[in-house]
Chain A
Amino acid sequence: MTVTSELNAPAGADKTAFAGLRRLFFQNESLRGLVLLTPTLVILSITVIVPFLLMGAMSLWTQIGFDYTDDWSFRNYGIILTEPLYTTLLLRSLGMSMAATLVTVMLAYPMAYFLAFHVQKNKLIWLIIITLPFWTSYLLRVFAWRVVLGYEGVINTGLMEIGLISEPLSFLLYSKSAVIITLAHAWAAFALLPIYVSLEKIDKSVLEASADLGEGPVMRFLRVILPLSMPGVIAGTFLMFIPTVGDYVTAALVGGPDSRMIGNLIELQFGTVDNWPMGAALAITMIISITMVGLLFMVLSRLLKRWVAA
């Protein structure tokens, strides 16, 4: 019985005790797929899931001197919710990310529109040129804004050279607006690409139909293109908002005392302050608040969609 089945097995199959297992492996599609996925999933479980669980556990500990007490309590979360410093930073981070996201989505939309509808030749090159900076050193791109906005930076010394100002504008660097501008610049591709994809997907015949029905360019944009590209706008908003809330490099390099973000506070807990349980609790609070804002935004956009459709 086994001999015949082994003879029937595909050429090259080993005649070992594993033959049965091998046959199962080759016959069962999802099993083969899962086996191929296993290394990736195992590595991600070890490097993502386990650390997250650990972070959750640690956020319930308390730092005392150089040691932790491992009696479980929500003390850290209590402090975060009641101390004005923490809530201020958290709300400020959410607000600054929202501002940067809003600016970027509005500035990126016309660019995405241009790419989708007006570029016929060399579209690939355009896309590559737009995305190119975003693959490269985040640190250097943020530093570049320090060069531009600095007290003795490009804008200040440039304007003084032309004679438009007599002394440097001190509000350029180390301010909230500096952080917002830099964030908007550094993450623009995250907002642009989804918008571009959704615009590119719009069936051109829909536009022709609307033109045939006598709609002008403005109405066509408002009633056809904009609604059809909303999924991209929403995706772009999420893709940009979520990572920027946790950013700490930008605020550290171009921000001032009034523009420190929650990421800087987390970094401090693992650095000079050395209160890891509090850092873990802050990180988790940040994830929860991002999720809450995200859900709120989703509900609002659903309501808006229903309201527009009605």
Chain B
Amino acid sequence: MSDQDTVKRHHFHKANRSLQAYAFFFMFVLYAPIMFIPLFSFSSGLYIRFPIDGWTLQWYGDLWERTAVLNALKNSVRVGVSVAIVSTILGIFAAKALVRYRIPGKGPIIGFILLPLVVPPIIFGVALLLMVNALGIPLSLYTIAAGHIIICLPFAIATLLPRFEGYDAAMEEAAADLGENSWWVFWRVTVPIILPGIVASLLLTFTVSFDEFVMAFFLGGTDLTLPLYVWGQLRIPRAFPVVLALGTLILLFSFLLVFLGLRIGRRGAIKLVDRD
């Protein structure tokens, strides 16, 4: 016991202070650049520069008067919600299959599904653009959504897999033995248990789609999503203040959703483990 304590003291406390300082420095570098977006969004100057002369909410007000922004927001939400629902449903089936059943070639299948996490999105965007074009399908919000599903599926499955690993299949079997058919077993036993995973997956995939730019860039038609709108505005220096205001709202909204998603996704998992 005392030996362990010495080791702990040795190991955990010796380099502690400088490492801790480094950790806070790391977090600072991680967040500081992003924080300049909200900071300057309240600056009354047209240009991003110090010193900040005055503070204003004018740019946020301008935002509401731009129908293009509201349209882009509506488009992004539509794409995001559909992508979140489709990829979460597909994710539930796939995660259940991968955890519950002995499937030939499971390793390669998982690798294939997770591929979009690593492969540069430009590759998928370009390849999908070629196919859509060859089939004569016009570029629209639908083609953007198709691209987003490829990117969101790995996130949905990665969020849902631990859920299926975390609970006892015997509960499903018990329900089946008690005479529930498989659809009801799924609906009344499986879904409630994995519900936190479903909510987390919906939140995370929605945000990924909501903020996704590269796929939308290649697969988008005349209807813009929010990131496409922001991209267009970035060429116009005079539009920077409004972009900063819009960016602040997007970041705030995304941070909130992802934080909730990650919390819900993990918290439930810990609870399930505790119960065992």
Q: Identify the A interface with B (CB < 8 A).
A: 10-13, 26, 29-30, 32-37, 39-41, 43-44, 47-48, 50-52, 54-55, 58, 107-108, 110-111, 113-115, 117-118, 124, 128-133, 135-141, 143-145, 147-148, 150, 152-154, 157-158, 160-161, 185, 188, 207-208, 211-212, 217, 220, 238-239, 242-249, 253, 263, 266-267, 270, 276, 279-280, 283, 286-287
Q: Which residues of A contact B96 (CB under 8 A)?
A: 36
Q: Which residues of B contact A212 (CB under 8 A)?
A: 3, 7
Q: Using CB atoms, name the residue of chain A closest to B177.
A: A10
Contact A11 to B179, CB < 8 A, known contacts A41-B109, A47-B128: yes
- Which of these, B49, B94, B153, contacts A36 with CB under 8 Å? B94
- Give Cα distance in the complex from A29 to B96, angstroms: 12
B141, chain A: closest CB distance, angstroms: 16
- Give Cα distance in the complex from A109 to B78, angstroms: 39
Q: Check if B11 sits within 8 Å of A114, measured CB to CB.
A: no
Some 18 contacts from A to B, beta carbons below 8 A apart, are A40-B93, A44-B112, A47-B150, A51-B128, A113-B19, A118-B16, A130-B27, A132-B258, A132-B259, A137-B250, A139-B211, A139-B213, A140-B230, A140-B251, A148-B32, A153-B48, A243-B120, A243-B121
- Give Cα distance in the complex from A270 to B30, angstroms: 33
Q: Which residues of B contact A29 (CB under 8 A)?
A: 101-102
A-B CB proximity, top 10 nearest = A246-B120, A33-B101, A12-B181, A51-B127, A36-B97, A136-B254, A137-B211, A157-B49, A33-B97, A157-B50
- Give Cα distance in the complex from A35 to B96, angstroms: 11
Q: Check if A114 sits within 8 Å of B150, measured CB to CB.
A: no
Q: Check if A243 sits within 8 Å of B118, measured CB to CB.
A: yes
A43, chain B: closest CB distance, angstroms: 7
Q: Which residues of A contact B11 (CB under 8 A)?
A: 117, 207, 211, 217, 220
A299, chain B: closest CB distance, angstroms: 19
- Give Cα distance in the complex from A147 to B36, angstroms: 7
B89, chain A: closest CB distance, angstroms: 8
- Which of these, B20, B126, B263, contacts A128 with CB under 8 Å? B263
- Which of these, A48, A129, A137, contacts B150 with CB under 8 Å? A48
Task: Please name 11 further chain A to chain B contacts, defined as beta carbons within 8 Å, in addition to the given A137-B247, A140-B37, A286-B123, sorted by A numbering.
Answer: A12-B180, A26-B182, A39-B90, A40-B91, A40-B93, A44-B112, A51-B124, A52-B127, A135-B204, A139-B231, A185-B29
Contact A37 to B109, CB < 8 A, known contacts A43-B90, A239-B118: yes
- Which of these, A32, A48, A145, A157, contacts B124 with CB under 8 Å? A48
Q: Check if B251 sits within 8 Å of A114, measured CB to CB.
A: no
Q: Check if B120 sits within 8 Å of A148, measured CB to CB.
A: no
B149, chain A: closest CB distance, angstroms: 7
- Give Cα distance in the complex from A40 to B91, angstroms: 8
Q: Check if A32 sits within 8 Å of B101, measured CB to CB.
A: yes
**Would you call B129 an interface residue if the criterion is a C-beta within 8 Å of the partner chain's C-beta atoms?**
yes
B14, chain A: closest CB distance, angstroms: 6
B177, chain A: closest CB distance, angstroms: 9
Interface size on B, residues (CB 8 A): 97
B-side binding surface: helix, strand, loop or mixed?
helix
- Give Cα distance in the complex from A54 to B36, angstroms: 43
- Which of these, B20, B98, B127, contacts A114 with CB under 8 Å? B20
Q: Check if B101 sits within 8 Å of A208, measured CB to CB.
A: no
- Which of these, A115, A143, A158, contacts B50 with CB under 8 Å? A158
Q: Check if B120 sits within 8 Å of A143, measured CB to CB.
A: no
Q: Check if B29 sits within 8 Å of A37, measured CB to CB.
A: no
Q: Which residues of A contact B122 (CB under 8 A)?
A: 246-248, 263, 266-267, 283
**Would you call B174 an interface residue if the criterion is a C-beta within 8 Å of the partner chain's C-beta atoms?**
no
Q: Using CB atoms, name the residue of chain A closest to B123.
A: A283
- Give Cα distance in the complex from A82 to B15, angstroms: 53
For A135, A158, A270, A276, the residue with the greatest tally of chain B CB atoms inside 10 Å of its CB is A135
**Would you call B55 an interface residue if the criterion is a C-beta within 8 Å of the partner chain's C-beta atoms?**
no
- Which of these, A108, A110, A118, contacts B12 with CB under 8 Å? A118
- Give Cα distance in the complex from A230 to B119, angstroms: 22
- Which of these, A33, A133, A253, A287, contacts B123 with CB under 8 Å? A287
B residues 163-211 near A (Cβ < 8 Å) are 176, 179-182, 204, 207-208, 211
- Give Cα distance in the complex from A256 to B201, angstroms: 38
Q: Check if B254 sits within 8 Å of A54, measured CB to CB.
A: no
Question: A-facing mask of B82-126, CB < 8 A → 1, else 0?
Answer: 000000001101101110111110000100110111111111101
A210, chain B: closest CB distance, angstroms: 9
Q: Which residues of A contact B32 (CB under 8 A)?
A: 148
**Would you call B130 an interface residue if the criterion is a C-beta within 8 Å of the partner chain's C-beta atoms?**
yes
Q: Check if B153 sits within 8 Å of A40, measured CB to CB.
A: yes
Q: Check if B211 sits within 8 Å of A154, measured CB to CB.
A: no
Q: Using CB atoms, name the residue of chain B closest to A243.
A: B120
Contact A153 to B34, CB < 8 A, known contacts A47-B150, A55-B127: no
Q: Using CB atoms, name the residue of chain A closest to B157.
A: A40
Contact A249 to B214, CB < 8 A, known contacts A54-B130, A283-B122: yes
Q: Check if B51 sits within 8 Å of A161, measured CB to CB.
A: yes
Q: Which residues of A contact B147 (CB under 8 A)?
A: 47
B residues 1-54 near A (Cβ < 8 Å) are 3-4, 6-7, 10-12, 14-16, 19-20, 22-23, 26-27, 29-34, 36-37, 40, 47-51
Q: Which residues of A contact B90 (CB under 8 A)?
A: 39-40, 43
